[in-house]
Amino acid sequence: MTELPGGVVYGVRLRTSWDYRYIGQTSKSAEARLRKHFQVAASGRRTPFYAWLRKQSREDVVVDV
């Protein structure tokens, strides 16, 4: 996916569910932002979303634009 000049709104969910756990906006691609979310979660930031993300397999988490 290419970068859009105004950014994108994205949602993070499990592949097996349509319930979004997080909605965000980024000036980068949604895939790049998801990778950054995984990095922040691994660093130990304590929020409900990052705690949930640490429990998931990377293959099970998807991002939708």
Are 26 and 34 in contact, with CB atoms under 8 Å apart? Answer: no
- Please tell me the distance from the alpha carbon of residue 7 to that of residue 5, in angstroms, as a whole number: 6
Say what the pLDDT of residue 4 is: 52
Say what the pLDDT of residue 6 is: 75
Q: Note the pLDDT tens digit of each residue in 16-60.
A: 999 999 999 999 999 999 999 999 999 999 999 999 999 999 999
CB neighbourhood size of 45 (10 A): 14
Q: What angle do CA 28, 25, 3 make, to 5 degrees?
A: 25
Q: Note the pLDDT tens digit of each residue in 1-19.
A: 555 567 899 999 999 999 9
Are 3 and 27 in contact, with CB atoms under 8 Å apart? Answer: yes
Say what the pLDDT of residue 40 is: 98
Classify 2 as helix, strand or coil.
coil
